[in-house]
Amino acid sequence: MLVNVTPIGMAGGPEAEALAFSEQAIAAAERVFDVVAMPAQTPLIRRAQALGKPVITGLEVIALQALEQFVLYTGIRPTRAQVDAAVAYARDI
């Protein structure tokens, strides 16, 4: 599994269009995880998806961690549909 925890691929950054790993490393990976959330479709994620690799995006991570915060604050666990709607609203800026 490849994990990118650098800002490479982050929107607005100096390396927004750069790949965090080499093409060769991506091709050899079983799975790719990019913690960059904005955008969810980073160059690394796009490349991995093009190669048919399973991916975990940074957006998935920040959404899940925000959900766990919500549960801690309120004691309520929303439905998947409610969470999906909140994520769609939150990223629509």
Q: Which residues bind another protein (CB under 8 A)?
A: 1-8, 14-15, 20-21, 25, 29-31, 33, 35, 37, 56, 60-66, 68-70, 72-74, 76, 78, 82-83, 85-87, 89-91, 93
Cα 88 to Cα 16: distance, rounded to the nearest angstrom = 22
Query: Nearest approach, Cβ of 16 to another protein (angstroms)?
Result: 12
Q: Toward another protein, which CB reaches closer, 46 or 61?
A: 61
Min separation Cβ 18 and another protein, Å: 9
Q: Taking the complex as a whole, how short is the minimal distance between the CB of residue 50 and another protein, in angstroms?
A: 19
How many other β-carbons are positioned within 10 Å of the β-carbon of residue 55? 20
Residue environment code for 34-44, b if the CB has 16+ CB neighbours within 10 A, otherwise e? bbbbbbbebbb
